[in-house]
Amino acid sequence: MNAFVRMLTHELRLALRGGGDVLTLVLFFVIVGAIVPFAIGPDQALLARIAPGIVWIAAFLAMLLGLERLFRPDYEDGSLILLRHAALPFSLTVAAKIAAHWLVSALPLIIASPILAMLLAMDGEAFWRSILSLLLGTPALAAFGAVGAAVTVSIRRGGLIAPILIAPLSIPVLIFGVGAITGQQAQAAMLFLAALSLMALALAPFAAALAISSAED
């Protein structure tokens, strides 16, 4: 437990000392949302209708940006080999990394989402629902992302391949994520989203650990 917490804080410390890594993701998230009104035109009703989709697309893309940081630096400086020999089982190490990845690349987006809601003319209820659906859905994106990053860790420029691998996995998250904001059966969509996240979080650490172990071979 001690080592798990240490791994988590280690990752957070590295990310926060990164000199604006986190801020870059948040800015990217806001900018994607901000350019949409300019591209679509100032039709408030239309904007409000597509806003949930925009929020989810922006969150998805911003989280992809952070994937490269998940395993690659550790792979390149040799830490990954040593972590496999640590006293903490490697899948738990990966789980700690996924948790840190969510805290660094999803939580700041959720905190920044009021800005997006304002830019996209969302009403109050849709705003609260979008926050809830992001909270429930982004863990699944983080978990799928980790698997993609793990599979491509030994490939140069793997950062470009990982999104292609995880896009199909992420589509259900986007469908139910947007459905939870606007859909007829928002309640059911929320439950599906939560189920997706729980399942992904339970399986991803083992899948990612296995992918890394066989990548080196």
Partner 1 sequence: MTGRQVFPPLTLRAEGLSCGRGGMALSQDLVFSVPSGQCLLLRGANGAGKSTLLLTLARIIRPLSGSFGIDGADEDMPLIHYCGHRNAIKPRLSVCENLDFWRTMNGANGVSSQAALARVGLGHLGDLDAGFLSAGQTRRLALARLLVSLRPLWLLDEPTAALDVDGHALVGQLIDTHLAMGGMVVAATHDPISLSKAEQVQTLQLGAVS
What residue ranges bind partner 1 (CB under 8 A)?
2-3, 6-7, 10, 13-14, 17-18, 74, 76-79, 81-88, 93, 216-217
One-letter-per-residue 3-state SS of 175-216: HHHHHHHHCCCHHHHHHHHHHHHHHHHHHHHHHHHHHHHHHC
Q: Compare residues 74 and 200 and give the one whose CB is closer to partner 1.
A: 74
Quick check: 26 and 114 in contact, CB under 8 A?
Answer: no
Q: Compare residues 3 and 132 and give the one whose CB is closer to partner 1.
A: 3
| CB 15, min distance to partner 1, A | 10
Q: Compare residues 45 and 87 and give the one whose CB is closer to partner 1.
A: 87
Q: How many Cα atoms sit within 13 Å of 94 on the Cβ side?
A: 32
| CB 169, min distance to partner 1, A | 28
Going 79 to 18 to 71 to 7, the CA torsion angle's sign is: positive
Q: Compare residues 79 and 91 and give the one whose CB is closer to partner 1.
A: 79
Residue whose structure tokens are 């859905």: 137
Q: Compare residues 136 and 151 and give the one whose CB is closer to partner 1.
A: 151
| CB 149, min distance to partner 1, A | 18
- Hey, what are 189's tokens? 């969509």
| CB 2, min distance to partner 1, A | 6
| CB 20, min distance to partner 1, A | 13
DSSP annotation of 122 reads -
